Amino acid sequence: MTKTSLKIGPLPDKTPQKLTVLIEPSLASELEDYARVHSQLHGEDAAVSVLVPHMLEAFLASDSGFRKARRSLIAAKAQ
């Protein structure tokens, strides 16, 4: 049998991971307000639990110091 090669390799694990965090009441209130504003702007309800992963992803993507440090971590793991 010949080995077939595809441009798209194995798909990454996309299984959601559960994370439990405790937050201050003031932050919980701000997140609820954010969800309300988001819902008003986009015309559909969005729960805080749905928005938070997107917020975290956007925050990490915008942190250039973290991206640089993470590249170093990944390079160190590969050695």
Alpha-carbon distance 27 to 29, whole Å?
5
The 10s digit of each residue's pLDDT in 15-72 is 999 999 999 999 999 999 999 999 999 999 999 999 999 999 999 999 999 999 999 9
- 3-class secondary structure, 64: helix
Query: Structural domain boundaries of the chain?
Result: 25-78
What integer pLDDT is reported at residue 30 of this predicted model? 97
Entry pTM: 0.76
Question: Would you say 35 and 48 are in contact if contact means Cβ atoms under 8 Å apart?
Answer: yes
Alpha-carbon distance 13 to 15, whole Å?
6
Alpha-carbon distance 31 to 51, whole Å?
9
Amino acid at 69: A
What does the radius of gyration of the chain's CA atoms come to, in whole angstroms?
19
